[in-house]
Structure 1
Amino acid sequence: MILCLATAPATAGEKPNVLFIAVDDLRPELGCFAAPVVKTPNIDRLAKSGMVFNRAYCQQAVCSPSRSSLLTGARPDTTRVWDLSTHFRKAMPDVVTLPQFFKVNGYVTQSIGKIFHHGIDDTASWSVPSTFPKAPHGAERAPVDPSAEAGASKRGPAFRATAGDDNSLHDGELADMAVAALPLLKKSPSRFFLAVGFIRPHLPFISPQKYWDLYDPQAIPLAPNPFPSHGAPSYAIVPGGELRSYGGVPVGRQLPDDYARQLKHGYLAAVSYVDAQIGRVIDALEREGLRENTIIVLWGDHGWKLGEHGAWAKHSNVENDTRVPLLICAPGMASNGKRSDALVELVDVYPTLADLAGLPLPNHLEGTSLKPLLEGRQIEWKSAAFSQYPRKVGKQNLMGYSMRTDRYRLTRWVNRDDHTKVASVELYDHSKDPLENENIAEDPTSEEILTTLTAQWTAGWRGAAPKAVLPPKTR
């Protein structure tokens, strides 16, 4: 997520606009997060004028639950969205979503592309109907690969370079639409909340050839841990998933190095492609003279494994899947050009935007405004971030509830209807094992810290919330 605020806090009569940019399947594989090899000059340029949050986490590492959580400001067990088909209004019929909140506060709200998950749009959130590129997601896939492995769908390959221009593909057309919308919104007598949802780097990894040419394939590093975590339950990470629905994917959990490198090359090229489209939208905002009074939010809905733990997908509670890119650019604030190791969550986005816009926070929110961190305050910040993922294991319906603290990740797999029934426990010490390769929950030396962390896990996100906000530091 990237968030940029006006050069000075908006007065009651001068509320900021909001440019809200979502990116699908974008892990912190960005230059501003010190990721090797990847080239993301536009996002990096934005990062230089803001605060980079090194440790931001989604609430469930799959599209609809994550987006529903962020856009309602409520966690998955409140939205009751744990899959790709359930609409959050089934459990929360009267909830005021983030864009709807701005709408009822006098903003024109408009959605272009994927903001809510496919098929989960919410008409109450928008002042005008949502619009999408003419080519739907995936329409630019290659023709069917006749050599597709048995059982694979009739899709083409998982990655491909194209000869066309940027706007010949979905995200380039999407950027065109956003660029065209800005001058029209500028003429509106009301402030605007413009949401722009990019698809790449979601599978298939398709982008113009020039973005592939940015990379030397032999310089692309492969995952150092292409194996399951030792001691973790078999259901902690389930290999396969969407990747296996594309043609030509080699059989077996661990892909051959040459194919894995091509796959990662495609992901990196797609990241650079979407970075260029984001740059076009930001440039258009500046050309229209709107940048100085527009909050810009850029966020990824969850992470993605690029061969780590022998998997190529999201759908788990591991660090690779739950950690997301988060950068907040707030010109004129103390956070400019700095980095933060504060534990923050995507559920914090809703209260942050409301707070920065000078609007009263709704009572239903389950996150915390990041505004104090942007202001450079000394603050007793939240002590943990929380994610979760469901699994059907035999006849058991399990939920893995994961807690990330400063040093540890604790995941407890419990019965979804009775949390006292524990199926398994995972514990990883990031000071010694940042890749989460060794589950130490059964190690006798972990007994004391496991007891402490279990009590903290039981207290949940409410127990981890900040207890006090102190005045800003004097400099």
Structure 2
Amino acid sequence: MIVRVSCCLLMCFLACSSSLWAAEERLNVLFIAVDDLRPELGCYGQPVKSPHIDQLAREGMLFERAYVQVALCMPSRASMLTGRRPDTTKVYQFDTDFRDAIPDVVTLPQYFKQQGYHALALGKIFHKDDKTSWSEPLFRSKRGENDYHTEFGKQVMAWIKEDHRKVTYVWDLGDGITKTKRPGGLPWEAPDIPDDAVRDGQLAEAAIDRLRKYQDKPFFLAVGFHKPHLPFVAPKKYFDLYDPGSIAPASNPFPPQNVPKYATYNWNDLRHYYGISDVGPVSPQQARELKHAYYACVSFVDAQVGKVLAELKRLGLDQKTIVVLWGDHGWQLGEHGMWDKHSNFETSTRIPLIVKVPGFKPGRTQALVESVDLFPTLCELTGLPREDGLEGLSFVPLLKNPDRPWKQAAFSQYRRVIPGYGKISKGMGYSMRTDRYRFTEWLVPGTDFREYELYDHERDPEENVNLAVEPQYRPLLQQLKQQLHAGWRGALPAESK
């Protein structure tokens, strides 16, 4: 009897020990999302001071051509965090929550939570928080996006709060469609303050605290930095890193030739800020100031990322933690005359993506990848079974061989009002980025309306000339149309189909 009990106790002990060892061997995930960050970083060859992200790129895999599914935060994040494309999530703008369309979907952090990870979020991860996804409530800093620090900034906000009902901007979008929006605060500000006086500085400190608190259990820690989203507010020392006179404006501050009117956008995200005209372009001085402020905010966020990564290393967690740094979409810094995202252009859809995995060699790859690929990739890297219904492709093979053949195309889309079809956003632009071309088909469901954009990145990397209207490109147009209609499954590597 005693022998039987002892054997049972020994078996239980071994089973528990085995479970503990398995948990200890699991790779953690540090998931860093940055709002409105395009590949405007030193590691992407840009004149921006981002030493900490550059170092992460040297230690991990940098993806030169990574794309989001929608160039807008709510649908982009919904797509990546569910591993589903927009036509599945039904999230195209801000008017639908993904759980309205797919209520029982298991999100990326939720899946890790179900697999025994402690899943927690700081800052902006989902655009609208999904409480089901986390092991504990979302951490938010005490500061708001429009909290200003200088006396002038505070005066502007006081004026807005007093007079906002009397003043609105009105834009003519064509076909009798107008849009109004209340004026906002300063578009940028450079107060002489410490990092932790700004929201993202507080998020970095909170992330460091959580790393210390949960270092002994497998974690999925998502840190969502808000900058460089408008308003471009960062401590003055980050503005001082740059000589404004050396910051060159966009070389193509005009719409592409032959482009459909609705392919461009009136950039209302910036229009409603103080001092920005409700019509027409910004002044050359404003363009320089805005680009300078964007750079300062990128450098500020880079410093916060550096603090978190330094603590990860100090705790000895860097050797058992996957680090992902991801931008939720691009942002136009005056290209095509726009200051915003909200388009299918390369500047809106292309993002920075860096993935560092313990035991994997660092490198760079030109392969086409999509943000929807992150969910299956993290499943494979952590040894978890692939969640059912995912619409992306694990790019672990690229982490092992960055030069191998890969996807033939990446896909994005944007919903837009098409003049002549009423005030509701009935139109959709489906865009495909191949190795050489960007091809976009604009349509209105239920009608025969079709218009096209075609840009040759070999000859026109800035997408300044729409070739779709040229007769000599009709055969290519037809070929790309067929490829677009074959969809993302048709673009997969042969061994994945």
Task: Select 2:87's aligned residue among 77, 81, 88.
Answer: 77
Judge conservation of contact 2:442–2:451 (CA < 8 Å) in 1. yes
- Residue 128 in 1 paired to residue 143 in 2? no
Alpha-carbon distance, 1:137 to partner = 2.6
Deviations, residues 274-303 of structure 1 (Å, cap 9, x unaligned): 000000011111111111000111100000
TM-score between the two structures when normalised by the length of structure 2: 0.88
Residues 73 and 244 of structure 1: CA distance in aligned 2, closer, same or farther (over 3 Å): same
> Which residues of 2 match residues 3-402 of structure 1 at below 5 A?
14-35=25-46, 37-117=47-127, 120-140=128-148, 142-145=153-156, 151=169, 153-187=182-216, 190-334=217-361, 336=362, 338-376=363-401, 379-394=404-419, 395=421, 397-402=426-431
Q: Retained in 1: the 8 A contact 2:367–2:403?
A: no
Deviation, structure 1 residue 412: 0.3
C-alpha distance 347-89 of structure 1, shift in aligned 2 (>3 A): same
Question: For each residue in 1:330-349, what CA deviation from the matched residue of structure 2 results, as whole angstroms up to 9, or x when unmatched?
Answer: 34324x1x221100000001
CA distance in 2 between counterparts of 1:290 and 1:13 reads 11
Q: Tell me, in whole angstroms, the C-alpha distance in 1 between the residues paired with 2:92 and 2:235.
A: 34
Q: CA deviation at 1:84?
A: 1.7
Q: Equivalents in 2 of 1:172, 1:12: separation in Å?
A: 31
Cα separation, partners in 2 of 1:449 and 1:288, compared to 1, 3 Å: same
**How far does residue 267 in structure 1 lie from its aligned partner after superposition?**
0.3
Query: Could you give the per-residue CA deviations for residues 154-213 of structure 1, whole angstroms, max 9, x where no partner exists?
Result: 5221011011100001000111111111111114xx311011100000000000000000
The answer (yes or no) to whether the contact 2:321–2:357 under 8 Å persists in 1 is no
Q: Deviations over 1:132-162 (max 9, x none)?
A: 0011332337225369996373522101101
Q: Which stretch shifts more, 262-271 or 12-21?
A: 12-21
**Identity, % of aligned positions:** 51
- Provide, for residues 219-245 of structure 1, a one-character-per-residue CA deviation record: whole Å limited to 9, x for no partner: 001000000111011000112311011
For residues 13 and 192 of structure 1, the distance between their equivalents in structure 2, rounded to whole angstroms, comes to: 11
RMSD: 1.8
- Aligned to 1:393, the other structure's residue is in SS state coil
Cα distance in 2 between the residues matched to 1:411 and 1:275: 33
Amino acid at match of 1:280: K
Q: d(CA) in 1 for partners of 2:23 and 2:43?
A: 34
Deviation at 1:392, TM superposition (A): 1.6
The answer to whether the 8 A contact 2:188-2:233 is kept is yes
Per the normalisation by structure 1, the TM-score is 0.92
Task: Tell me the CA shift for residue 123 of structure 1.
Answer: 1.4
Alignment partners' CA distance in 2, 1:130 and 1:52: 29
Please list every run of 5 or more consecutive structure 2 residues that lacks an aligned counterpart in the other structure.
Answer: 1-20, 170-180
Larger radius of gyration: 2
CA contact under 8 A between 1:24 and 1:199: conserved in structure 2? yes
The alignment covers a number of residue pairs equal to 451
Q: Does the aligned pair in 1 maintain the 2:148–2:154 contact within 8 Å?
A: no
**Residue 407, structure 1, aligned to residue 436, structure 2:** yes
SS at match of 2:234: strand
Q: Is the 8 A contact 1:112 1:130 kept in 2?
A: yes
Q: CA deviation at 1:381?
A: 1.1
Amino acid at match of 1:14: E
User: Shift of residue 377 of structure 1?
Assistant: 6.9
Distance (Å, rounded) in 2 between the aligned partners of 1:422 and 1:348: 31
For 2:84 and 2:285, how far apart are their aligned partners in 1? 42
Contact 1:140 1:170 in 2 (8 A): no
Contact 2:272–2:278 under 8 Å retained in 1: no
RCO comparison, higher one (Cα < 8 Å, 6+): 1
> CA 1:154–1:413 in 2, change beyond 3 Å: closer, same or farther?
closer
Report the CA distance between 1:249 and its aligned residue. Answer: 1.0
1:301-342 CA distances to partner (integer Å, 9 max, x unpaired)?
Answer: 0000000000100000000000000122234324x1x22110
1:422 Cα offset (Å)? 3.4
Structure 2: how far apart are the matches of 1:378 and 1:281?
Answer: 31
Deviation by residue 1:31-62 (Cα, 9 ceiling, x = unmatched): 00001x21000000111112211100000000
Unpaired runs of 5+ in structure 1? 1-9, 470-475
State the match for 1:3 in structure 2: none
**Does the 8 Å contact 2:118/2:218 carry over to 1?**
yes
**Contact map agreement 1:144 1:247 (CA 8 A) in 2:** no
Q: 1:449 to 1:48 in 2, by over 3 A?
A: same
Instruction: Give runs of aligned pairs for residues 434-449 of structure 1, distance below 5 A.
Output: 434-449=461-476
CA distance in 2, matches of 1:80, 1:466: 26
- Aligned equivalents of 1:274 and 1:333: distance in 2? 26
**In structure 1, distance between residues paired with 2:407 and 2:85:** 16
Query: Is the Cα contact below 8 Å between 1:143 and 1:155 reproduced in 2?
Result: no
